[in-house]
């Protein structure tokens, strides 16, 4: 049987690769796991992966050229997440290692978190809860409804489309900005980003995180928003210039923000922002519902296909997977 490595630490496995999935992966080969109690260093990862044919990796497990060059038996690196920014895909291709990733299965989860965050921002639910738990009685203040408010969504992928439908059901006016998509929904208006920022009561950033969108929300972007508007980021911390966001909050350029992601380790919101009185933050849990189990199951299915010599859906460099081709005749699945 093949040697397999699961990179998820014991703590991470509780949410992202649960016991049923571990057992299923273990039936495919001799399974090694990270029981060290911490994330592996690169050297520790290389040592653990000796003689392994497949690595099933957590989203925070980096993979650079040295990893692929040091493991001559490695055929595939299966990322159990959508984001592959910390994988050197070019180095994997040079080494002949197949790299795959899984689908985004948390569309409804993230959209629902976003609706909840907007309601919280507009009505200060978290502030009232915190006051009561501290033993005091909060001041009753007028809140804002979603009905009649304007939602501006940056990016128009699967989560954005689902969110737009929810917002319309709440009676919101919905704007979208995405230069790479054509919005054909009859209830959604497509605008350039500056116009969207100026007109929105809630701005939700759901753009793809890449080199082009690094610090997309910067000082200039925040300055275009209404002082009464709220900013919500359930996507990636790299999309936001955090110093500019903090300045906007301190200066009153923004009424507040909600964050599920940031530039702290494991894509968590940054402490400089989470402690701010105008910020509500959660520890990267917007997609953390049982729907996430589908990602580990997809990674297992990819591993099974790879061990049978098949190139699975989700492969990112199938033409360069020479280590698979050299040991068996690989075929691409439909």
Helices (H), 56-154: 65-70, 89-95, 107-123, 125-133
C-alpha angle with apex 175: 170 to 181, nearest 5 degrees?
120
Q: Are 152 and 173 in contact (CB under 8 A)?
A: no
Q: Give 174-201 pLDDT, tens digit per residue.
A: 999 999 999 999 999 999 999 999 999 9
Check residue 330 and give its pLDDT.
Answer: 47
Residue 291 DSSP class: G
CA 46 vs. chain centroid, Å, equals: 26
Q: In 131-156, which positions are buried (b, 16+ CB within 10 angstroms) versus exposed (e)? A: eeeeeeeeeeeeebebeebbbbbbbb
Rounded Cα–Cα distance for residues 159 and 207 (Å): 10
Q: Quick one: tokens of 332?
A: 């691409």
pTM for this one?
A: 0.85
Strand partners of residue 77: 55, 99
Q: Give 81-133 pLDDT, tens digit per residue.
A: 998 999 999 999 999 999 999 998 899 999 999 999 999 999 999 999 999 99
Per DSSP, the residues of 149-171 read: -EEEEE--SHHHHHHHHHHHHTT
Rounded Cα–Cα distance for residues 278 and 289 (Å): 26
Name residues of the chain where pLDDT drops below 70.
326-334
Check residue 329 and give its pLDDT.
Answer: 46
Rounded Cα–Cα distance for residues 286 and 4 (Å): 30
Check residue 327 and give its pLDDT.
Answer: 57
What is the residue-averaged pLDDT of the chain? 94
Torsion-angle region of residue 27: left (phi > 0), alpha (psi -120 to 50) or beta?
A: alpha
Q: What domains sit in the chain, N to C, each tagged with a CATH number? A: 2-105+290-332 (3.40.50.720), 107-281 (3.40.50.720)
Q: Quick one: tokens of 260?
A: 């599920």
């Amino acid at each position: 049987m093949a040697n397999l490595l699961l990179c998820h630490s014991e703590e991470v496995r509780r949410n992202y690769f649960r016991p049923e999935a571990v057992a299923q992966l273990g039936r495919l080969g001799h399974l090694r796991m990270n029981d060290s109690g911490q994330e592996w260093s690169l050297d520790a990862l290389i040592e653990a992966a000796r003689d392994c044919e497949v690595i099933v990796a957590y989203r925070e497990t980096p993979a650079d050229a040295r990893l692929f060059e040091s493991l001559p038996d490695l055929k595939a690196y299966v990322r159990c997440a959508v984001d592959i920014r910390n994988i050197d895909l070019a180095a994997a291709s040079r080494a002949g290692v197949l790299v795959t990733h899984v689908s985004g299965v948390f569309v409804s989860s993230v959209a629902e978190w976003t609706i909840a965050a907007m309601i919280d921002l507009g009505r200060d639910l978290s502030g009232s809860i915190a006051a009561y738990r501290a033993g005091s009685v909060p001041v009753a203040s007028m809140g804002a409804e979603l009905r009649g408010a304007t939602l501006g969504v940056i990016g128009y992928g699967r989560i954005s489309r689902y969110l737009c439908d929810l917002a319309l059901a709440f009676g919101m006016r919905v704007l979208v900005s995405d230069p790479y998509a054509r919005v054909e929904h009859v209830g959604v208006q497509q605008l350039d980003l500056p116009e969207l920022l100026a007109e929105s009561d809630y701005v939700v950033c759901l753009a793809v995180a890449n080199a082009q969108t690094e610090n997309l929300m910067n000082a200039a972007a925040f300055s275009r928003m209404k002082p009464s508007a709220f900013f919500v980021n359930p996507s990636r911390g790299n999309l936001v210039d955090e110093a500019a966001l903090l300045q906007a909050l301190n200066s009153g350029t923004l009424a507040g923000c909600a964050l599920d992601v940031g530039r702290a380790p494991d894509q968590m919101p940054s402490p400089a922002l989470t402690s701010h009185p105008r910020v509500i933050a959660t520890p990267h849990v917007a997609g953390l519902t049982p729907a996430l189990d589908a990602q580990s199951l997809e990674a297992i299915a990819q591993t099974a296909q790879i061990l049978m010599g098949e190139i699975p859906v989700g492969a990112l460099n199938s033409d360069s997977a020479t280590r698979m081709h050299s040991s068996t005749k690989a075929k691409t699945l439909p």
